[in-house]
Amino acid sequence: MRFSGWRSWFGGGPRWDEGVIWALDLETTGLRPDTDHIISIGMVPIRAGVIRYGERWHQLVRPAGVAAMPTEGIRAHHILPAELDQAPPIGEVLPQLEARLREGALLVHCADLDLRFLRREFKRHDLSWPRPVVIDTVDLMLRWHHRQQQWTPHPPPPRTALREARADVRLPDYPSHDALSDALATAELFLVLRQRLGLATLQGIR
């Protein structure tokens, strides 16, 4: 059963592991969806509750004006303009991305920014946004932090950066600002947080 058909289920809902969840991460030329561009997409599926890394998908994307990429972004993701010269533009990549988004739920760490980039590109290319169920591991991390600290006077603020969140649940450190590595890191973090929070249904996770 596909997650996209589950939105009307409110009596507990289906089990979280009855469908596919695609973990996604983007690398971009900057943090402004209106003016910056996607340059790398990484996606890793979770099927039947198991990360299927063999089905991973990673795609470099050639932005408009690749030669004028801002240097602040290069410092973070280390993707050089020359590496993108032969990459396809985002318009050629969107059908592959859309097929995965329509297959199940979408899992993102700090989802708001990546979703703004994705929605802009779908709109710019006259494509309908697939409206997948979205799971944000930052939301789950905040719930876990609240559960752990609710009886603690003056609790420390939650650490929500992906690397710090993983460290707080004792997951190993991965190279950051790599779309595929961060998608895998998000998938692993989700599995740990879901188990610790005892969430059994999609309705409970969202």
Q: Could you give the CA distance from residue 165 to residue 142 in angstroms, rounded to a whole number?
A: 10
pLDDT of residue 9: 34
pLDDT of residue 94: 98
pLDDT of residue 67: 56
Residues 132 and 111: beta-carbon distance below 8 Å = no
Residues 25 and 49: beta-carbon distance below 8 Å = no
Indicate the pairing of strand 20-28 with strand 105-108.
parallel
Residue whose pair of structure tokens reads 């009855």 in the numeric block: 18
Burial class for 139, CB neighbours closer than 10 Å (0-12, 13-18, 19+) = middle
Q: Could you give the CA distance from residue 23 to residue 136 in angstroms, rounded to a whole number?
A: 10
pLDDT of residue 108: 98
Q: Could you give the CA distance from residue 56 to residue 161 in angstroms, rounded to a whole number?
A: 23
Give the single-character DSSP code of 109. Answer: S
pLDDT of residue 15: 87
pLDDT of residue 153: 85
pLDDT of residue 11: 42
Tell me the CATH number at 120. 3.30.420.10
User: Tens digit of pLDDT for each residue in 143-175?
Assistant: 999 998 888 888 889 999 999 999 999 999 988
pLDDT of residue 12: 58
pLDDT of residue 151: 86
Indicate the pairing of strand 57-60 with strand 105-108.
unpaired
User: What residues have CB less than 8 Å from 8, skipping those under 6 apart?
Assistant: none
Q: Could you give the CA distance from residue 44 to residue 100 in angstroms, rounded to a whole number?
A: 10
Residues 182 and 176: beta-carbon distance below 8 Å = yes
Residues of the chain with pLDDT under 50: 1-11
User: What residues have CB less than 8 Å from 113, skipping those under 6 apart?
Assistant: 31, 33
What is the total count of domains within the chain?
1
pLDDT of residue 135: 96
pTM, rounded to two decimals:
0.90
**Token duo for residue 145:** 């932090």
- Domain containing 177 equals 3-205
Q: What is the DSSP string of 59-87?
A: EE-BPTTGGG--HHHHHHH---HHHHTTS
User: What residues have CB less than 8 Å from 72, skipping those under 6 apart?
Assistant: 30
